[in-house]
């Protein structure tokens, strides 16, 4: 039985793009078939686990949500060996029981960024072959509520 080494890619908004959380951090410039990602990748470790941080809007926060090259960002993380991707976002809630600072795992959201390409599977030459499905099973990765 072979064991796959985990490498986690973090795509962070303004709250999760601090490279100081990484040990042995180094910048890695990556180009992709979809163009450049939002910024350089910051590679390092967190408690011995290989990790990569990418600032979704760029480290200077110069890229608006509709102009983020999401395909390049995902491709870049995959190209440096990331096996998992965790994406954070900071936003408000219309539910009064959710307070600032609460951690919420989304099961649906409204995406108002209409002008960007929304999929890798667009029929172009670079489009990956085959059809891939993703099944949510959050109960196996989340802790019970207290």
Mean pLDDT of successive 10-residue segments in the chain (146 residues)? 84 71 93 94 94 92 89 95 89 83 78 73 68 54 52
3-state helix, strand, coil in the chain (%, to 5): 15, 20, 65
What single-letter DSSP state applies at residue 44?
A: E
- Do residues 53 and 10 touch, judged by C-beta distance below 8 A? yes
Q: What is the pLDDT of residue 92?
A: 74
The residue with tokens 């539910």 is 95
Helices (H), the chain: 70-79
Euclidean distance between CA atoms 51 and 19, whole angstroms: 10
Specify if 114 maps to a domain. Answer: yes
Specify if 96 maps to a domain. Answer: no
Domain CATH number, residue 121: 3.40.50.1580
Q: How many domains does the chain have?
A: 1
Specify if 132 maps to a domain. Answer: yes
Q: What is the pLDDT of residue 128?
A: 66
Q: What is the pLDDT of residue 95?
A: 84
Euclidean distance between CA atoms 103 and 114, whole angstroms: 27
* Angular region, 41: left φ>0, alpha ψ -120 to 50, beta rest: beta
Q: What is the pLDDT of residue 144?
A: 54
Strands 7-12 and 49-55: parallel
Return the closest-CA partner of residue 45 out of 29, 21, 67: 21
Specify if 23 maps to a domain. Answer: yes
Specify if 145 maps to a domain. Answer: no
Structural domain including 124 reads 7-91+101-140
Specify if 128 maps to a domain. Answer: yes
Specify if 1 maps to a domain. Answer: no
Cβ-based neighbour number of residue 38 at 10 Å: 22
Q: What is the pLDDT of residue 12?
A: 87
Q: What is the pLDDT of residue 66?
A: 85
Q: What is the pLDDT of residue 8?
A: 95
- Do residues 66 and 114 touch, judged by C-beta distance below 8 A? yes
């Amino acid at each position: 039985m072979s064991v796959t080494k985990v490498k986690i890619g973090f795509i962070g908004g303004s709250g999760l793009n601090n490279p100081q959380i990484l040990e042995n951090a180094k910048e890695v410039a990556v180009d992709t078939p979809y163009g450049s990602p939002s910024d350089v990748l910051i590679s390092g470790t967190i408690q011995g686990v290989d990790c990569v941080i990418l600032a979704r809007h760029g480290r200077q926060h110069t890229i608006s949500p509709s102009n983020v090259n999401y395909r390049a960002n995902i491709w870049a993380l995959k190209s440096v060996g990331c096996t998992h991707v965790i994406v954070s976002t900071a936003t408000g809630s219309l539910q009064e029981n959710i307070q600032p600072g609460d951690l919420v795992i989304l099961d649906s959201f409204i995406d108002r960024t209409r002008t960007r390409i929304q999929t890798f599977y667009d029929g172009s030459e670079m489009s990956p072959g085959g059809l891939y499905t993703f099944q949510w099973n959050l109960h196996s990765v989340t802790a019970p509520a207290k």
